[in-house]
Homo-oligomer: A and B are copies of this chain.
């Protein structure tokens, strides 16, 4: 049985190849049009010259392909859906960076910082259209049109959910009184919906029945929720040497992550600290973490992550994934959720 690393090394070039074929410049388009998209994908520098790829982990399309293979023994039917999901993810990053005013993406200037907000919005819109086009353009000629329709409908319902999550995220920034429940509703749209679509679309592309597809959808949804909650925990309590990120960035930025929202609900002192406009220096970050520890925010969040992880595995088992790909799905969940911290 191949290791998870072998499996990823096999699938990643297939995904990259498909993504590059969808984002291949067309002769009737101005060269800058596709260059912005290729830059965002991490393939070229801002002058359009190939660079050391700085690609994302492509977790979503990997999931799509593995689920397809675990359903029908083959990942090929799911290649159009895998690219579509990854390109939708990148559409949302292009617009997110503008909406958040984030200057950096993968340690380089974000596309909008180089080409301006206007072209940044347009690049996101182009990526959105290309994500949809991945399905008809990559589909084989004998693909079942009813299945292609289902895939596109799920993709668009997912995009709508993404905008619901993004709407809430931006709305919450300007509001006090946001609670844990609001936060979970927001990440369901912003994070979990696309991971659940990745898994569900893999199943549907492979011809899975309604019940199996639904288990894969719920598997992806819980995986996304567990992953996001763990990410929030790791930001505060993770070992920067292991996570590769600076510690407690969320607290420094006063981000309302899950443990923080729980803490704000439980502890008025934390609320006072967060409402104080003074800079969140090291000393104040330490006080905030102590206050979070005092109210048990860490164990609350870890318990929630465990609950989502449990449901993730439950739905994966109910979907009864087959063969090596099935094993790889379990290993992928382990890699994503049982991280050292």
Q: Which residues of A contact B (CB under 8 A)?
A: 28-30, 32-33, 95, 98-99, 117-119, 121-122, 124-126, 128-130, 132-133, 136, 145-146, 148-149, 152-153, 156-157, 159-160, 162-164, 166-168, 170-171
Known interface pairs A126-B160, A149-B149. Does A168 touch B121 (Cβ–Cβ under 8 Å)?
no
Q: Which residue of B lies closest to A132 (CB)?
A: B156
Residues of B within 8 A of A124 (CB): 121, 125
Q: Which residue of B lies closest to A152 (CB)?
A: B152
How close is A68's CB to chain B, nearest CB, in angstroms? Answer: 20
Main secondary structure on A side of the interface with B: helix
A159 close to B121 (CB less than 8 A): no
Q: Give bound CA distance, A159 to B164, whole Å.
A: 22
Q: Give bound CA distance, A178 to B28, whole Å.
A: 17
Residues of B within 8 A of A33 (CB): 163-164, 167
Copies in the complex: 2
Q: Which residue of B lies closest to A186 (CB)?
A: B30
How close is A154's CB to chain B, nearest CB, in angstroms? Answer: 10
B122 close to A170 (CB less than 8 A): yes
Q: Give bound CA distance, A126 to B166, whole Å.
A: 10
Q: Give bound CA distance, A126 to B249, whole Å.
A: 30
Q: Give bound CA distance, A337 to B65, whole Å.
A: 51
Q: Which of A129, A133, A159, A171 has the most CB of B within 10 A?
A: A129
A133 close to B119 (CB less than 8 A): no
Q: A128: which of B119, B128, B167 is its contact (CB, 8 Å)?
A: B128
Residues of B within 8 A of A167 (CB): 30, 32-33, 119, 122, 126
A125 close to B164 (CB less than 8 A): no
B30 close to A164 (CB less than 8 A): yes
Known interface pairs A99-B118, A121-B99, A126-B163. Does A156 touch B171 (Cβ–Cβ under 8 Å)?
no
Known interface pairs A152-B132, A153-B136. Does A159 touch B125 (Cβ–Cβ under 8 Å)?
yes
Q: Give bound CA distance, A164 to B128, whole Å.
A: 13
Known interface pairs A119-B170, A167-B119, A170-B118. Does A153 touch B133 (Cβ–Cβ under 8 Å)?
yes
How close is A189's CB to chain B, nearest CB, in angstroms? Answer: 9
Residues of B within 8 A of A163 (CB): 33, 122, 125-126, 129
Known interface pairs A32-B167, A149-B136, A167-B33. Does A160 touch B119 (Cβ–Cβ under 8 Å)?
no
A160 close to B122 (CB less than 8 A): no
Q: Give bound CA distance, A95 to B124, whole Å.
A: 11
A99 close to B122 (CB less than 8 A): yes
